[in-house]
Amino acid sequence: MTLDTTETRTRSADLFQQSCNVLVGGVNSPVRAGRAVGCDPVFVERADGAYLIDVDGHQYVDLVGSWGPAIVGHAHPKVVQAVQSAAANGLSYGACCESEVRLGELILSALPSMERIRLVNSGTEATMSAIRLARAATGRSHVVKFLGCYHGHVDALLVAAGSGAATFGEPDSAGVPAAYAELTLLAPYNDPAAVEALMSEHGSDVAAILVEPIAGNMGFVPPGEGFLSTLRTLCDKHGALLVFDEVMTGFRTAWGGYQNVCGITPDLTCLGKVIGGGMPVAAYGGSRSLMEQVSPLGPTYQAGTLSGNPVAMAAGIATLEICRENGFYENLASKSRRLTSGLQAAADAVGVALQTGHQGGLLGMALSPRPVRNFDDAKACDHDAFAQFYRAMLDRGVWLPPSGYEAMFVSIAHDDDAIDRAIDAAKASFEVIAP
């Protein structure tokens, strides 16, 4: 069955036109504009479980899940109920409330590396604050980041490749002063020797090495054997802090985060996405002695008007309580396995070179004949073919991330029927790009 929805997405087309007269580029976050896949945005009317329903009435199997937060499925009754009853008591107090303590406890119980936590409103805020704290705690200015890792739109972290090798960074966005970007040192992902060389030259200036323990913003790129442990060793040797940006991987790849899977303990952890269950919640935390350097106990300032508001806390608590149920992550991983093996078989059947991988409810597909281990590999994938595949899938009722540089997400609400619908659509869509 093929359902070409292009011509029937008329209300979306109309809304996008209106939106372009109001919002910059018609969107509030750039990837939604669909430029990488040559496709105007589809406007969502509502979401339910594993599905999105657009304003023209089409239903899609959602493999984005709001970029991760929707891990228990959209509009889960327990989450909706928790948010509604919290809202009835006021949306935000700008003062302490019990639910902040409860969400913090849930998170700390899952992550032994975090003894104290600060809740914030976005992943960007979490990484920005973690770096400020690392700089304060070490009295150093530089940070090491990896090519192709995304940590939000923090000035010093919007830095990508210079000329490929590990060099001082060049800003990746207008408006980032070169003086900031110069404080960011770059290394290729999955290249322990490059980090070692970088640290032996600049180690005494480095406040932190910041890393996505599974890189999820250049597809799905797991750490190779020894990569994360080398970072741990190098940080210890040079007196730098190891910061795991688990904004994507936290509570998505495992209860707690990927640090519980890989067994490497960071000094600071950033969380976001899942911990708000769809509301704007993020966090950073670490040992008590480090975190006590944050205001009001220490000299590192950081604050937030809406931080810890009771409605967002309620969504986070309800979501994590479901995640904590026995077998949740095994169940989630089995869904990822069913989907990736179905996609792989569908691609193999028509001779499309595909790489797949998954951890918990995070998965990836890359149109590449070789495994993707770093940003160069990610750039070498067939992004034109992905754009075609994306449009073919959308027309067949599957909502993919609108870029070949993004990971995919499943929820506990993705039953066999939803996954098999996605696989059936992929069978037809791989044919469109088959050699």
Ligand X SMILES: *Cc1c(COP(=O)(O)O)cnc(C)c1O
Our CB check for ligand X shows the closer of 217 and 230 to be 217
Cis peptide before 296 (omega within 30 of 0): yes
Which lies closer to ligand X via its Cβ, residue 125 or residue 395?
125
In the bound complex, what is the minimum distance in angstroms from residue 123's beta carbon to ligand X?
Answer: 2
DSSP 349: H
Closest residue to ligand X, based on beta-carbon distance: 123
Handedness of CA 301, 307, 313, 316 (dihedral sign): negative
Shortest gap between Cβ of 329 and ligand X (angstroms)?
19
Pick 49 or 216: Cβ nearer ligand X: 216
Q: Which residues are tagged catalytic? A: 150, 245, 273
To the nearest 10 degrees (0 to 180), the angle between helices 192-202 and 227-238 is 10
Which region holds residue 4: left if phi is over 0, alpha if psi is between -120 and 50, else beta? beta
Phi, psi of 162 (to 5 degrees): -85, -105
Shortest separation between residue 282's beta carbon and ligand X, angstroms: 6
Which residues of this chain interact with ligand X, rule CB under 6 A?
122-124, 127, 150-152, 212, 216-217, 245, 247-248, 272, 282
> Smallest distance from the beta carbon of 72 to ligand X, in angstroms?
18
Instruction: At 358, list the tokens.
Output: 């998954």
Q: How far is the CB of 144 from ligand X (least distance, A)?
A: 15
Nearer to ligand X, 189 or 430 (CB): 189
Long-range contact set of residues 34-39: C-beta below 8 Å, sequence gap at least 24: 34/402, 36/383, 36/387, 36/402, 36/403, 36/404, 36/405, 37/386, 37/387, 37/390, 37/391, 37/402, 37/403, 38/387, 38/391, 39/387, 39/390, 39/391, 39/394, 39/402
Residue 248 or 387 with smaller CB distance to ligand X: 248
What does the alpha-carbon distance between residue 205 and residue 240 come to, in Å, rounded to a whole number? 9
Question: Helices marked H in 324-415 — which ranges?
Answer: 328-349, 375-379, 383-395
Distance CA 142, CA 132 (A): 11
Shortest gap between Cβ of 409 and ligand X (angstroms)? 11
The DSSP output letter for 64 is S
Name which of 21 and 29 has its Cβ closer to ligand X.
29
Say if residues 235 and 268 touch (Cβ distance below 8 Å).
no
